[in-house]
A and B are shown apart, each in its own frame.
Chain A
Amino acid sequence: MSVEVEVDENDLAEMVEQVWESYLDPEGISPLMQTYDENQPSEVHSSVSITGSWTGHVVYASSRAAAQRAAAAFLAMELEEVSEEDISDTLGELANIVGGNVKAMLPPGAQLSLPQVVLAPESSARYPNTERISGVYGLWEGEPVSISMWQSSTDTKEEGA
């Protein structure tokens, strides 16, 4: 089954902006500056899977320093107080928030998984039979952060295999 995906880079960028305004940069002094470089490196990542009317993954990836800064902002603590668990929890919640907002824009009948967190680069993960269909890539106070959508090829297949 082929499904029109109506969540594009602009939609993702708007969600990202809301997350920054609400939690990561409420003062409006350090927004995510877009680089449009989909090959920028990451050191940690998190993801949620969506199945149903659209099938694929939403992936949040960043440097470890950016994840630590996000956790400090989420938990209102100093950078040096942030633990490994804080970083994991924060990354999971970031994937959940963006994934939930993506799901809300999809046709009815999609299911959202609980988030998965991997304290390793996004490039270490494989999402079988998927292709990246959109993403926001940027620098947050000089550190790489990206949010991307990976669509399962079973959704994009035009002809039977």
Chain B
Amino acid sequence: MKILIADDSRVMRQIVVRTLRQAGFGDHDLIEAADGQEAFDMATKDQPDLVISDWNMPGMTGIEVLRQLRAAGNQVKFGFVTSECTPEMKTAAEASGSAFFIVKPFTAERFDEVFAPILG
């Protein structure tokens, strides 16, 4: 599977990649986007099977990326890894078609719990 990791923080993208490996999902094709616009463009052009996105990014936020993808008819499996986890954000994410919501700081166990059903 192709997995797109979108986060404006380079260190957090690296931590997500490392945690995916630790959770046993390192053999997937991992690609990275450094902001929301890039995430939208790559989700459209590179056709990943899964998008793991930060919420708070400059330019376009993660929820805006998800909404624009859905508005364009793109049904890629999409979810959030974010340090913010308010009930209204979770509600907005679910209403827009988000598949998961992971709160930073996270562990490999949490990744396994969320991604095992998705990645097999």
Contacts and interface: CB of A to CB of B under 8 A. Distances in A.
A124 B84 CA distance: 28
A71 B11 contact: yes
Given A89-B10, A112-B56, A100 B18 contact: no
A112 B61 CA distance: 12
A72 to B, nearest CB: 11
B56 to A, nearest CB: 6
A86 B84 contact: no
Given A18-B105, A23-B105, A97-B105, 20 more contacts: A19-B105, A22-B105, A74-B14, A76-B18, A86-B11, A89-B9, A90-B11, A93-B12, A96-B56, A96-B104, A97-B83, A97-B104, A100-B56, A100-B83, A101-B83, A101-B85, A101-B103, A104-B84, A104-B86, A114-B58
Given A23-B15, A74-B14, A114-B58, A93 B84 contact: no
A86 B12 CA distance: 11
A92 B105 CA distance: 14
Interface residues of B, number: 22
A114 B56 CA distance: 7
Nearest to A106: B86
A11 B58 CA distance: 28
B82 to A, nearest CB: 7
A155 interface: no
A22 B106 contact: yes
A96 B83 contact: yes
Interface of B: 8-12, 14-15, 18, 56, 58, 82-88, 103-107
Interface residues of A, number: 25
Contacts of A93: 9, 11-12
B14 A99 contact: no
Contacts of A76: 14, 18
A21 B103 CA distance: 14
A75 interface: yes
A103 interface: yes
A108 interface: yes
A92 B106 contact: no
A108 B88 contact: yes
Nearest to A107: B86
Contacts of A92: 9
